[in-house]
Amino acid sequence: MTMSAPTPILTVRNLCVDARTPEGRQRVLHDVSFDLISGETLCIAGESGSGKSVTSLSIMGLLPKASLQVASGTIRLGEKDLVALSNRAMRSVRGGDIAMVFQEPMTSLNPVMSIGAQLTEAIREHQGPEGGAAETIARQMLDAVHITEPVRRLTQYPHELSGGMRQRVMIAMALSCRPKVLIADEPTTALDVTVQAQILKLMRELKQEFGASIILITHDMGVVAQMADRVAVMQNGRIIEQGDALSIFENPKQPYTQELLAAVPRLGAHAGNDAPPRVSAITAPSVSVSPAPILQVRNLDVTYGSPVRRLFRGMLPAAAVSEVSFELRPGETLGLVGESGSGKSTTGKAVLGLIPFTGHVVIDGQNIAGLSARQMRPVRRSAQMIFQDPYASLDPRMAVGAAIAEPLVIHGLGDRSERDDRVAELLRHVGLQPDAATRYPHEFSGGQRQRICIARALALQPKLIVADESVAALDVSVRARVLDLMLELQETMGLAYLFISHDMAVVERMSHNVAVMRGGRIVEMGTRRAVFENPQDDYTKALMAAVPIPDPRARHIA
C-alpha cells in the first residue's frame, strides 16, 4: 500500500507577471510553479532581480497595479483561486489566511502609531474582538515572540525598539490572526548575525506552535540551509531548480545554483592561514607590511549628545566609543567586527575626522586631532571611505565619470584631459569599461555601483581606505567578486583597509588582524588566526557560533 502525497495548502501554477515599460509590456515572471505543503518551510532563493519578491507579492495580491500585473496562471489557497478574487475578498484572505513579514520593519511599521495600536488594528480587522480582548491577544503575541516587558512595549513606538525587536513585532503581527501561510521576505537581511540567529530560531518555534506553513524568501544560502525543508532556486524570473534542501546543497544540478553555493563565505574556510588568499592573476610586486603605520589610534573616545541646556534639552551625553586603540600598516587589513551599536561605524568616521572625537589619531604621520575642515583637506588625499549603500553614496544627477573625477577637481589635480584619462584608468581597475563614465548610477547594478564607489575612493591614490559594511547590501556572488577586487587592489597598490563588518565569515576572508567591538570598546584583538581559531572573549565566541552554516546536515548546531 503506497502512501498518497500530502495535499498542498498553496499551489502556484504557471504564474506569469508582466511589467509595464515605455517600450510596452515586458515579462518579468515566467511560468512559476510550486506547491507549499502544510507544516513545511519552502525557501525561495536567488539574487536581486531573480523574481523572488514579485512572486511573493503576487501571492499576497500586493503587486503595484501601475507597473506590474499577473498575466496568467493560478494561485490556489485550498479551494480559493487568489488571482480571481476581488480586492475586497482578497483583504479578508490577506492577514487572515496568508500573512507577510517584510524585509525592513522600520518602513513596514507606522511611525506615528504605537506598537499596541498597530497590533490590535490587525487583530480587530481579522478576528473581531474589541477593547481589552484585542489588547490581551496583542500582549500574548509579544510574549510568543519573546519580547520582554510586553505591556510597556505596547505603548512604545517603532523608533524606540531595536531592529531585532521591530522584526519580532512584525512576526507577532503576521501570526496574530493565525494564518495558514506565512511569507517572510528577507526577514533577517538587515539584522546582525546574533539577532538573525534568534529570529530564525523563533520562526522555527512558532511554526511548530502555530502550525503555519512558511515561504522564506532569501539570497542567503546559509539561512536556507538552516531553515528549508524544500528549496526553489530562481534566476531571471524562472524557477530553475527545486527539491529537498539536502539534495539541493549536496547535488545541485544547475550551474547558477552551484555558483550561489560556491560564493557563500564559510567560517573556518581559511583556517591555518595568516593572510587573506591571493587573488591577483598578475604577478604583482610584493608589498611588504611596513614597520611605519599608516594609521595610529590611541585612546579614541566619541561622545554623542549634549548637556542639558536651560531652554532646550538635547540628548544627554552618551559614550559611543571609549578608549579604542589600534594600528594599521600599508598592505594590511584590520577587520573591525561587532553588532549594530557596537561603535564600529563611529570609529571609522572618527579616524577620518568626519565626527568630533578626543584622543590621538595619526594618518600618514599627521595628527588630525583638532584640525579644521580646511586643514583636513590635504590629509584626505591619504585616506578615503567606502560606504555601505553605493546608491546613496552617488549623486543620482551626476554621471559616474564626473563623480569619480570630483575628488581630483576638489584637490585641483590635472586638467580636464588628464582627469578623463584617470577616470578611464580607474574604471578599468575596478572591472568596468571606460564608456561607463557617461552613464548615471541608476543604470548600474548594485555590485557595479559599489565598484564605482571603490573607483572614486581610489581617485586620489590614498594609502588608507575605511570600508564601512561595504558589501553588506550585495548579493552573495556579487559580494564575492567585490571582495576579490578589493584584495586584488590591495595586492597591487599596497592599500591598507579598515574593514568594518558584522559578518564574521567575510571578516575572516579579508583580514590580517581582527578587532572585536562591543559597547563602544574593543573586547578582543589579535591576528586573524588567533581570533578565529582560538577566540578568548565570550562575545567573540557568541558571534562565531551565530553564523549560519551553509549545510543542512549542520542544522542542529544553529
Residues 80, 81, 87, 93, CA torsion sign: positive
- Say whether both 256 and 194 belong to one domain: yes
Say which DSSP state 351 is in: H
- Say whether both 253 and 115 belong to one domain: no
- Say whether both 185 and 172 belong to one domain: no
Please tell me the distance from the alpha carbon of residue 38 to that of residue 77, in angstroms, as a whole number: 11
- Say whether both 45 and 135 belong to one domain: no
DSSP string, 48-91: TTSSHHHHHHHHHT---TTTEEEEEEEEEETTEEGGGS-HHHHH
Contact 59, 75 (CB under 8 A): yes
- Say whether both 112 and 143 belong to one domain: yes
Contact 336, 502 (CB under 8 A): no
User: pLDDT in tens for each of the 558 residues of the chain?
Assistant: 455 667 899 999 999 999 987 778 899 999 999 999 988 999 999 888 889 989 999 999 999 888 899 999 999 998 899 999 988 889 888 877 898 988 777 778 899 999 999 999 888 877 766 667 888 989 988 888 888 888 999 999 988 887 778 888 888 888 887 888 999 988 887 677 887 888 888 888 888 888 889 999 988 888 899 899 999 999 999 999 999 999 999 999 999 999 888 888 788 877 888 888 776 554 444 445 557 899 999 999 998 766 555 455 555 667 789 999 999 999 999 999 988 778 898 999 999 999 999 999 999 999 999 888 889 989 999 999 998 778 788 999 999 999 999 999 999 999 999 999 999 999 998 888 999 999 998 888 777 888 899 999 999 999 999 999 888 777 788 888 888 889 998 998 899 999 999 888 889 999 999 999 998 999 999 999 999 999 999 999 999 888 888 888 877 544
Cell numbers at residue 3, please?
502512501
Domain boundary among 155, 178, 201: 178
> Hey, how many other C-beta atoms are within 10 angstroms of the C-beta on 376?
16
Asked whether residue 116 is domain-assigned, the answer is yes
Residues 6 or more apart whose CB falls under 8 angstroms from that of 224 comprise 43, 45, 216, 218, 231, 245, 550
- Say whether both 93 and 194 belong to one domain: yes
The type of residue at 460 is: L
Please tell me the distance from the alpha carbon of residue 558 to that of residue 272, in angstroms, as a whole number: 24
- Say whether both 527 and 558 belong to one domain: yes
Please tell me the distance from the alpha carbon of residue 288 to that of residue 304, in angstroms, as a whole number: 39
Structural domain for 361, as ranges: 292-307+314-382+469-475+503-558
Cell numbers at residue 6, please?
500530502
- Say whether both 142 and 253 belong to one domain: no
Cell numbers at residue 238, please?
524562472
CA dist list (Å): 183 to 59, 75, 365, 513, 519: 9, 14, 54, 40, 34
Asked whether residue 360 is domain-assigned, the answer is yes
Cross-strand partners of 213: 181
Say which DSSP state 277 is in: P
The type of residue at 234 is: M
Domain boundary among 137, 156, 178: 178
CA atoms within 13 A on the CB side of 331: 15
> Hey, how many other C-beta atoms are within 10 angstroms of the C-beta on 558?
18
| pTM score, whole prediction | 0.79
Asked whether residue 70 is domain-assigned, the answer is yes
Q: Indicate the number of domains in the chain.
A: 3
- Say whether both 92 and 241 belong to one domain: yes
Domain boundary among 131, 148, 178: 178
- Say whether both 238 and 188 belong to one domain: yes
297 three-state secondary structure: strand
Provide the pairing of β-strand 318-328 with 464-468: unpaired
Contact 210, 237 (CB under 8 A): no
- Say whether both 172 and 188 belong to one domain: no
Please tell me the distance from the alpha carbon of residue 190 to that of residue 503, in angstroms, as a whole number: 11
Cell numbers at residue 373, please?
575642515
Please tell me the distance from the alpha carbon of residue 178 to that of residue 210, in angstroms, as a whole number: 7
Please tell me the distance from the alpha carbon of residue 241 to that of residue 235, in angstroms, as a whole number: 9
Asked whether residue 398 is domain-assigned, the answer is no
Q: What is the CATH number of the domain that holds 537?
A: 3.40.50.300
Rg (CA), the chain: 25
Provide the pairing of β-strand 521-527 with 513-518: antiparallel
> Hey, how many other C-beta atoms are within 10 angstroms of the C-beta on 156?
15
- Say whether both 366 and 252 belong to one domain: no
Please tell me the distance from the alpha carbon of residue 182 to that of residue 208, in angstroms, as a whole number: 13
